[in-house]
Amino acid sequence: MEKPLTHHIDSNKGPLTIAEWEAIGGYRSLRTAFQSAPKDIIKMISDSGLMGRGGAGFNTGFKMGAVPQGENAPKTKYLICNADEMEPGTFKDRWLLEGAPHQLIEGMIVAAHAISATCAYIFLRGEYKVAQRALENAVKEAYEKGYLGKNILGTDYSLEFHVHMSAGRYICGEETALINALEGRRAIPRAKPPFPQTSGLWGKPTLVQNVETLSNLSHIVNNGPAWFKSLGLANDAGTKLFGVSGKVKTPGAFELPMGTPVREIFEKYGGGMRDGLKFKAFLPGGASTDFLLESHLDLPMEYTSFAKAGTRMGTGQMIVLDDQTCPVGMILNLEKFFKQESCGFCTPCRDGLSWTARTLDAIECGKGEMRDIEILQRHARLLGPGNTFCALAPGAASPLATGLRIFADEFEEHIREKRCRYENLHR
């Protein structure tokens, strides 16, 4: 099985040096990329079917194509790598950042060249200190080798490159909030339109992409779009870093073909439930996704199949709920997270999530009232896309809406019995 993103990563050793990376073909893609016109590279990436790996799943080539090019376009343009991994249950970018910094840098140079960017930033989580050291070191090596800076590989293309550490806050993972954070401002998102490709960092055309997305680019350039398409098992192209967390036997991150059945990821790689525990439900890709059931385990894990099933794959790293963990407590934990991470700009998220979290807290502590269910359902419905300023609250509404439906009887029991039946197991 091909694992282009991770086969060279040895978690025990540390990242490959630039020499080691070059030895296995690293930075080769730059030569190909620089010999092609930017629009051809963008077409190649579109044709490959690469979809954004941050969770939104938008066709990367199309996104790149929206950056204005040509003589009338602004000269200053930015490429930003969104390395602010903070979606609960998500731990894939860390693997790539700590293990393969050059793979990312190479992919970023390909992308930057394709959109004629003049400067690139990696917006890295402040907590990822190991990754910071790996990346800063790799950037230094790349500058020394002439892959970054002025006149790369003797061409007239120059690229300034910086690693920026974030100062916290989940909302910074939202691309427009990230841009504000990088500008040294409060990380409130921006309304779209205008899109970052039109007006982004300091008002200039900007492309923001996830770590995993960018890490794929050098391989697509080296091997071609058809190869990338061939790696997928169902509709979507390429491989994906999936993962399993929760009370399974072997939690971890796994690079597998797009479209691998969920069940395979869960049982073969995640090892299935620990002894003595039963599978109850799962969130397929981080806290902002729906609760799914046993029947969904047969879905191919990819954006398209999940969309067809009326849900979303998100980051593709599943969180498993076992039968001895309180679902109400889990939903409370999720909503408390979102409430705390709300930037505070729009009313429904700021005041609605606070109400939601406190209601759930009351229910979990045995102080719930029957009308609370209706209030929670109303919030799950009203905090939808378009009703709020950004996608944080709709993300919070996903597990809430599905959880209220799937675990309706457990909610009612908490309220009726005025206690949590799992309380001895947790507290």
Partner 1 sequence: MKIYIDDQPLEVKEGQNLLHAALSLGFDVPYFCWHEALGSVGACRQCAVIQYRDADDKKGRLVMSCMTPAVEGARISIDHPDAKSFRASVIEWLMTNHPHDCPICDEGGECHLQDMTLMTGHNYRRFRFNKRTFKNQDLGPYINHEMNRCITCYRCVRFYRDLAGGTDLNAFSSSNRVFFGRAEDGQLESEFSGNLVEICPTGVFTDKQFKQNYVRKWDLQVAPSVCQLCSLGCNITPGERGGIVRRIQNRFHSEINGYFICDKGRFGHTFVNSPDRLRKPLVRASRSSVQTETSYDDALAGLQSKILNAKATVAVASTTASLETNFALRKLVGPDNFFSPESQSQFDCVQFAHSVLQKRDLKSASLKEIEESDAVLIIGEDLTKTAPMMAFSVRQVVHHQAQKTALQLQIPKWNDAAIRNLVTEKTGPIFSLQTNVTKLDDVAEIKIQCDVSRMESIAAAIAGAHSDNLSAEDEKTARAIAEKLKGAQKPVIIAGASLESLALMKAAVQIAQALKAQIAFVLPASNSLGVHILGARSPSELKARLGNKVDLAIALHVENEKCDLTAADCIVAFDYINGPNVTRADIVLPVASFAESTGTLVNNEGRAQRFFRVFSPSEGLQDAWHLLTQIGSSYSSINDLTKEMASEIADLAGLDMHVTSSDFRICGQKIPRASSELSGRTAINANKTMHEPKPVQDPDSPYAHSMEGASAFVPASQAAVFWSPGWNSVQSLNKFQDEVGGPLKGGPSGFLLFAPRSETL
Partner 2 sequence: MQLESNQLSQHEKEEIDKEILKFPIKQSACLEALMIVQHGRGYVSDGMLKVVAEYLEMSATELDSIATFYNLIYRKPVGKNVIRICDSVSCWIMGYDKLCAKVCSDVGANLGETSKDGLFTVLPTQCLGTCDHAPAMLVGENLHRDLTVDNVTGVLDSYRGEGQ
> Footprint of partner 2 on this chain (CB under 8 A)?
85-91, 93-94, 121, 125-130, 162, 164-170, 181-187, 202, 243-247, 251-253, 283, 287, 317, 319, 321-322, 325, 329-330, 333-334, 337, 340-341, 343, 426-427
Cβ-Cβ contacts under 8 Å for 12 (sequence gap 6 or more): none
- β-strands 239-246, 252-257 pairing: antiparallel
* Spatial separation of the C-alpha atoms in residues 359 and 422, rounded to whole Å: 18
The window from 81-89, 263-271, 298-306, 339-347 that contacts partner 1 (CB under 8 A) reads 339-347
CA angle centred on 380, ends 327 and 323, rounded to 5°: 10
Residue 418 binds partner 1, judged by CB under 8 A? no
Structure tokens at 171: 């909302």
Query: Which neighbouring-strand residues pair with 292?
Result: 282
Q: Which is nearer to partner 2, 34 or 128 (CB)?
A: 128
Pick one of 193, 409, 424, 427: the residue that binds partner 1 (CB under 8 A): 193
345 is an interface residue for partner 1 by CB under 8 A: yes
Q: Which residues make Cβ contacts (< 8 Å) with residue 206, sequence separation at least 6?
A: 77, 78, 79, 80, 179, 196, 197, 200
Find the angle CA(400)-CA(344)-CA(342) to the nearest 5 degrees.
40
| The one among 24, 370, 375, 425 contacting partner 1 by CB under 8 A | 375
Torsions phi, psi for 282 (to 5 deg): -150, 155
Pick 189 or 300: Cβ nearer partner 1: 189
Closest CA to 216 of 198, 236, 238: 238
Residue 1 or 191: the one with the smaller Cβ distance to partner 1 is 191
101 contacts: CB under 8 Å, gap ≥ 6: 15, 131, 134, 135, 137, 138, 139
Q: Is 354 in the site for partner 1 (CB under 8 A)?
A: yes
Please report how close the Cβ of residue 267 comes to partner 1 at its closest, in angstroms: 39
> Considering the rule CB under 8 A, would residue 366 count as an interface residue with partner 1?
no
The region that residue 177 occupies, defined by phi over 0 for left and psi between -120 and 50 for alpha, beta otherwise, is: alpha
177 or 220, CB closer to partner 1?
Answer: 177
Q: How far is the CB of 347 from partner 1 (least distance, A)?
A: 5
User: Can residue 352 be called a binding residue for partner 1 (CB under 8 A)?
Assistant: yes
Q: Give the number of C-alpha atoms closer than 13 A to the C-alpha of residue 311, restricted to the C-beta side.
A: 27
Q: Considering the complex, what minimum distance in angstroms separates the CB of residue 135 from partner 1? A: 27
User: Which H or E element spans position 20?
Assistant: helix 18-23
Q: How far is the CB of 419 from partner 2 (least distance, A)?
A: 16
- What amino acid is encoded at 167 in this protein? A
**Cα–Cα distance measured from residue 283 to residue 287, given in angstroms and rounded to the nearest whole number:** 7
CB of 226 to partner 2, least distance (A): 33
Q: Write out the binding residues for partner 1, residues 150-189 only, by CB under 8 A.
A: 169, 186
Nearer to partner 2, 87 or 106 (CB): 87
Q: Which stretch binds partner 1 (CB under 8 A): 93-101, 106-114, 193-201, 418-426?
A: 193-201
Contact criterion met (CB below 8 Å) for 318 and 288: no
E strands, 54-103, in order: 78-83
Query: Is 194 among the residues that bind partner 1 (CB under 8 A)?
Result: yes
Residue 118 beta carbon to partner 1: minimum distance, rounded to whole angstroms: 16
Beta-sheet strands, E only, within 108-167: 119-124, 160-165
Given the rule CB under 8 A, which residues bind partner 1? 169, 186, 190-191, 193-194, 198-199, 202-203, 339-348, 350-352, 354-355, 358-359, 362, 369, 371, 375, 378, 382, 386-389
